[in-house]
Every structure is written in structure tokens, then in C-alpha cells.
């Protein structure tokens, strides 16, 4: 390495070390979410596993629920805890979350939502249609 490159690296190193402090905090991942899951011909789909995940694989859910006897589900808002805080100026966008549903072996993403600051829960009505033995789910509702 050249002397100017080493000088600039040595000037940036303290800034990088001081840009992160061990201050625990949490950030919202998903808002409160309530809804109903039913078949396209009307009856509720009971016992279906529903999860909220941070990615589209639905493999590591941040929250999970099972639909009840009327097909209803509810989630409290979820948060992710960090053990450090970054001091560099940046503007994080609203974090996104994935609403996943299906059987316990085959969860699939139904939609991707954004977590905006609101006190109202997202409300969904999800309808599952079977086409060629493959379920297809559509959700509609009020997303804040």
C-alpha cells in the first residue's frame, strides 16, 4: 500500500470504530395484523399456519399463529432487538415483512407488506382457491 492510502485508511479507522455504540434498542418489523382466512366458496379454513417473516423464504418467522374455528388470526406488532446502534447519518425506509400461509411443511409468501408507523392494525381477508390441486391465496383489506 502507498503512504497516502495508509494515511486515509488510518484517518477513517477511528471514525468507523466510533460510528457504532453498544446501546441496545429495538425497531418495528411488522405492525399488528388481524384477519380471516377462508376458502373461495365461503367456509373458514381452520388450523392453517400463518407466519410473519422478514424474508420470502418464510423459514425464520418472527411471529406465528394458527387460524381458529372461524378462520380468524391475529398478530401483535413484532420488533427486532439490536445490541448496538449505528451513529452514521442514514434514513432507514419502512421495514418490509412477509405474510406467509399454508400447511406447516409448505409455507409460502402471500404478500409483502411495509411497516409504517401507525397505531391501527392491518386488516386482511384472505381467500384460498384451488386450481389444479395447487392452492392460490389472495388477500385484500386495509393496510395502513
Span 51-84, pLDDT tens digits: 988 888 988 888 899 999 999 999 988 777 888 7
Pick left, alpha or beta for residue 133 (phi over 0 → left; psi -120 to 50 → alpha; otherwise beta). Answer: left
Domain limits at 110? 25-142
Residue 42: inside a domain, yes or no? yes
Q: Which residue has the higher pLDDT, 18 or 32?
A: 32
C-alpha cell at 76: 401483535
SS3 21: strand
Residue 80: inside a domain, yes or no? yes
pLDDT tens by residue, 32-41: 889 999 998 8
Q: 125 and 36 in contact (C-beta within 8 Å)? A: yes
Say which CATH number the domain at 56 has.
2.60.40.10
Residue 59: inside a domain, yes or no? yes
Residue 138: inside a domain, yes or no? yes
Residue 129: inside a domain, yes or no? yes
pLDDT band at 6 (very low <50, low <70, confident <90, very high): low
What are the beta bridge partners of residue 78? 30
Residue 18: inside a domain, yes or no? no
Total of domains in the chain = 1
Q: Please indicate, yes or no, whether the overall pTM of this predicted structure exceeds 0.75.
A: no
Residue 53: inside a domain, yes or no? yes
Average pLDDT over residues 111-132: 76
Q: 78 and 30 in contact (C-beta within 8 Å)? A: yes
Determine what percent of the chain is predicted with pLDDT higher than 90: 14
Residue 19: inside a domain, yes or no? no
pLDDT higher than 60, residue 91 = no
Amino acid at each position: 500500500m502507498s503512504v497516502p492510502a495508509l494515511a486515509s485508511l488510518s484517518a477513517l479507522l477511528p471514525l468507523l470504530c466510533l460510528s457504532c455504540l453498544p446501546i441496545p434498542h429495538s425497531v418495528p418489523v411488522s405492525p399488528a395484523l388481524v384477519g380471516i382466512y377462508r376458502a373461495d366458496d365461503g367456509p373458514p379454513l381452520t388450523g392453517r399456519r400463518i407466519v410473519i417473516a422478514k424474508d420470502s423464504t418464510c423459514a425464520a418467522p418472527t411471529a406465528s399463529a394458527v387460524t381458529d374455528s372461524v378462520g380468524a388470526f391475529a398478530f401483535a406488532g413484532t420488533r427486532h432487538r439490536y445490541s448496538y446502534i449505528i451513529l452514521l447519518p442514514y434514513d432507514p425506509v419502512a421495514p418490509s415483512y412477509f405474510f406467509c400461509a399454508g400447511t406447516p411443511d409448505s409455507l409460502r409468501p402471500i404478500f409483502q407488506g411495509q411497516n409504517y408507523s401507525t397505531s391501527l392494525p392491518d386488516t386482511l381477508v384472505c381467500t384460498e382457491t384451488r386450481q389444479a390441486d395447487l392452492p392460490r391465496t389472495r388477500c385484500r383489506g386495509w393496510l395502513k
